[in-house]
């Protein structure tokens, strides 16, 4: 018999009188969001049903042990580092290309951001299943989730394999990861809606009828992944892009995180330009790139690279960011932190951009970085790079 988890939060419930209401458009999945926040991300202390209490307690002990260590390193030790290197007048809008599942790193680096957009091949995921899983199904899905987000809550990075696997979990891997980011940063969700982008790049929030139609379409024609070697999602395309509104408990300021499932390669963007039109409307933004498989070094990601160079007010990256050749041509300055002796992924070390990266680090004094943030280099050295317009 299926156990309706939507009845499990006993004490405070999922609706609060002091929660600001989102705009009256699109279907709001805040009930499911709060269940994922409590059960998958271990946020808050609301009681759960006795039938799954031990499962949730065991899961949350494992997750919280890692989150405690993560907070001590990245939030406590990292805060002075980021406060020192970041200008005081940074925009509060952050765009994080190749940022699959990783709201956490954006909150670590830019705690004052009020709008964060992540973009990746991974689709957000269907949140409704958490209300229908049996205890055994829940335990199995939580175990898979822990494996899939292990790197994220240890060193703020995840593997492509784990991100791809999330598309097959009964729990929405991306949304669950975003909830972990909220928990780690001391936030809570107040609204969650799904959306599409129209031809002009404007957001259209999906209502119940549109979601139902997409569900029926998925039954007739299984959805495909955005890349040939990625797992196809086991949910409908209605759940590709998500908007999560969140705030600090007791605070009134609402912040927004949007995740957009999109392929950032030139071929895909040429056929589907709505994403770049949407991002361009934001004007000058803060850019975050890390763990991006060195895709910005390649010729077939020129459109994404050009967007970044045209719109960055300030950019933080590891060595997978903008190569010096392109940054200099765009009149950018780059400053390095940590050590870099070669690319983390061996197969890209023969790329012409590699020598430029080596020269960039060699020419600058060594500035220390107290933790790993993104890829390490070939010798496991932590490193970062700031790219900014010339003063």
The tens digit of pLDDT for each residue in 90-139 reads 999 999 999 988 999 999 999 999 999 999 999 999 999 888 889 999 99
pLDDT in tens, 341-373: 999 999 999 999 999 999 999 999 999 999 999
64 domain residue, yes or no: yes
User: Token digits for 203?
Assistant: 């957001």
pTM assigned to the model: 0.88
Rounded to 5 degrees, φ, ψ at 83 are -60, -30
Instruction: Kindly give the confidence (pLDDT) of every residue in the chain, 391 residues in length, as a single tens digit, with 9 standing for 90 and above.
Output: 344 444 344 333 333 334 444 445 899 999 999 999 999 999 998 888 889 999 999 999 999 998 998 899 899 988 999 999 999 999 999 999 999 889 999 999 999 999 999 999 999 999 998 888 899 999 999 998 888 776 566 554 555 444 444 455 588 989 999 999 999 999 999 999 999 999 999 999 999 999 999 998 877 766 666 655 656 667 789 999 999 999 999 999 999 999 999 999 999 999 999 999 999 999 999 999 999 999 999 999 999 999 999 999 999 999 999 999 999 999 999 999 999 999 999 999 999 999 999 999 999 999 999 999 999 999 999 999 999 999 8
Residues 6 or more apart whose Cβ sits within 8 Å of residue 355 = none
352 and 211 housed in the same domain? no
**Domain final position from 266, 283, 300:** 283
9 domain residue, yes or no: no
The H or E element containing residue 312 is: strand 312-317
What residues make up the domain containing 181?
23-81+92-283
pLDDT in the model for residue 200? 97
Q: Which residue has the tokens 């394999």?
A: 161
Distance CA 170, CA 370 (A): 37
Rounded to 5 degrees, φ, ψ at 355 are -65, -35
246 and 316 housed in the same domain? no
Length of the chain: 391
What's the angle, vertex CA 28, arms to CA 91 and CA 143, rounded to 5? 85
212 and 357 housed in the same domain? no
**Domain final position from 283, 306, 333:** 283
**Per-residue exposure over 356-371, b if at least 16 CB sit within 10 Å of its own CB, e if not:** bbbebbeeeeeeebeb
133 and 258 housed in the same domain? yes
**Per-residue exposure over 70-106, b if at least 16 CB sit within 10 Å of its own CB, e if not:** bbebbbeebeebbeebbeeeebebbbbbbbbbbbbbb
Query: Is 102 in contact with 158 (CB distance < 8 Å)?
Result: yes
């Amino acid at each position: 018999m299926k156990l309706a988890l939507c009845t499990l939060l006993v004490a405070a419930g999922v609706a609060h009188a002091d929660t600001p209401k989102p705009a009256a458009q699109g279907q709001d999945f805040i009930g499911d969001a709060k269940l994922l926040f409590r059960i998958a991300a271990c946020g808050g202390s609301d009681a759960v049903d006795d039938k799954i209490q031990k499962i949730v307690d065991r899961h949350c002990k494992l997750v919280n042990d890692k989150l405690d260590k993560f907070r001590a390193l990245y939030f406590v030790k990292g805060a002075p580092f980021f406060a020192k290197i970041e200008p005081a007048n940074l925009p509060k809008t952050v765009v994080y290309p190749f940022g699959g599942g990783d709201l956490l790193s954006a909150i670590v680096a830019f705690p004052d951001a009020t709008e964060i957009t992540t973009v990746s091949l991974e689709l957000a995921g269907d949140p409704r299943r958490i209300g229908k899983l049996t205890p055994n199904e829940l335990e199995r899905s939580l175990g898979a989730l822990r494996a899939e987000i292990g790197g994220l809550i240890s060193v703020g990075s995840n593997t492509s394999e784990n991100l791809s696997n999330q598309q097959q979990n009964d729990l929405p891997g991306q949304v669950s990861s975003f909830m972990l980011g909220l928990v780690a940063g001391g936030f809570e969700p107040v609204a969650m809606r799904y959306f599409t982008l129209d031809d002009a790049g404007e957001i259209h929030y999906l209502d119940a009828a549109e979601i139902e139609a997409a569900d029926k379409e998925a039954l007739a024609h299984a959805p495909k992944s955005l890349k040939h070697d990625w797992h196809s999602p086991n949910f409908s395309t209605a759940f590709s892009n998500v908007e999560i509104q969140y705030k600090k408990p007791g605070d009134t300021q609402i912040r927004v995180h949007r995740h957009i499932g999109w392929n950032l390669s030139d071929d895909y963007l040429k056929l589907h330009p709505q994403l770049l039109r949407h991002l361009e409307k934001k004007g000058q933004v803060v850019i975050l790139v890390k763990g991006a498989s060195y895709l910005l070094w390649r010729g077939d990601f020129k459109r994404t690279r050009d967007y970044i160079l045209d719109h960055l007010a300030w950019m933080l990256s590891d060595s997978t960011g903008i190569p010096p050749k392109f940054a200099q041509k765009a009149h950018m300055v780059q400053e390095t932190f940590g050590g870099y002796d070669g690319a983390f992924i061996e197969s890209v070390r023969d790329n012409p951009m590699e020598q430029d990266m080596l020269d960039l680090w060699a020419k600058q004094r060594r500035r220390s970085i107290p933790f790993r943030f993104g890829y390490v280099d070939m010798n496991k050295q932590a490193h970062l790079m700031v790219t900014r317009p010339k003063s």
